[in-house]
Amino acid sequence: MIDILVTPFDRPYMTRALVEALLLGALCGAVGVYVLLRRLAFLTDAVTHTVFPGVVVGFLVSGRSGIVPGALVCAVAAAALFTAIAATRRVNEDATLAVLLTAFFAVGVILISRQHSYTADLTAFLFGHVLTIDTTDIVVTAAVTVLAGLVLLGLGKELLLRAFDPEWARATGYRITALDLVSNMLIALVVVASVQAVGTVLVIAMLVVPAAAARLLSERLGVIVAVAVLVGMVGAWLGLATSYEASVGHDLRLAAGATIVLVLVAFYALVTLGQATRRLVRR
């Protein structure tokens, strides 16, 4: 059992994949708690779709090296637009998200439909390809992780107050729009950092599932964040190891990013089952 968890990572490409996956597990686990508390899962889903035209344009202009900058531009633009429109209170948040999601994604679909030779390459970034991660990708993810950690340490209490009682936060002098912009930009950065590893489609699971599992285990914020980070990192490790063992040892090809997500979902299912069993026993 130990060999299965350790031996695959002797190979350089698997080592890079593990480092990237662990960073993403920690990053998504921590930020995901605030996504869960603010009920921003739909926003996360919208951002994952809005980065798609940026991925396409970036790839067409500069190849793989242009994907992250292109995705970043679209993600930041979408987060800023959503914050600005939602602040007017004339259109509810769900409607705003639906408009942005469909508009950006439609642009991406039109662009990719006109580039037949690039379709296969761009499709990979919908679902990710963590095994092709290079040192530059790891540095970008590490930088985003450090930045997110600093933001959460510096504004954690304010973001928490905004999540639970926005009217009180506004009454005490906090700028709600500014806090919303910070949290939305943070989500956008996480999505961009995850594009090449797990793809724009699966990143929402990396953000939501560890936090949801941690929320079932505790009601204390500090504990929830710590457990979410731990679950994200362990799930990433087990997912990569499982994918490698199935593909190499048993000739059963499993996509690494999707396997990581399934491991996280399996953990969430076990926690849910355990909590339900515990309630039945108490009764």
The distance from CA 81 to its chain's CA centroid, rounded to whole angstroms, is 20
pLDDT above 90: residue 57: no
pLDDT above 60: residue 129: yes
pLDDT digits (tens, 9 = 90+) for 105-123: 788 778 777 766 555 555 6
What secondary structure does DSSP assign to 139-207, as a single string?
HHHHHHHHHHHHHHHHHHHHHHHHHH-HHHHHHTT--HHHHHHHHHHHHHHHHHHHHHHHHHHHHHHHH
pLDDT above 90: residue 280: no
Residue 233 is predicted with a pLDDT of 94
d(CA 113, CA 115): 6
Residues 6+ apart with CB under 8 A from 27: 141, 144, 145, 148, 190, 193, 232
Q: Residues 224-235: what's their mean pLDDT?
A: 94
Q: Residues 77-97: what's their mean pLDDT?
A: 76
Q: Is 147 exposed, middle or buried (0-12, 13-18, 19+ CB in 10 A)?
A: middle
pLDDT digits (tens, 9 = 90+) for 132-185: 888 888 998 999 999 999 998 888 888 888 878 778 878 888 888 888 888 888
Q: pTM value?
A: 0.85
Residue 81 is predicted with a pLDDT of 82
More confident residue, 92 or 110: 110
d(CA 8, CA 276): 36
Report which listed range, 17-31, 48-62, 64-78, 110-124, is most confident.
Answer: 17-31
Q: Which domains does the chain have, with CATH numbers?
A: 2-282 (1.10.3470.10)
d(CA 192, CA 58): 12
Residue 123 is predicted with a pLDDT of 61
Q: Residues 15-41: what's their mean pLDDT?
A: 90
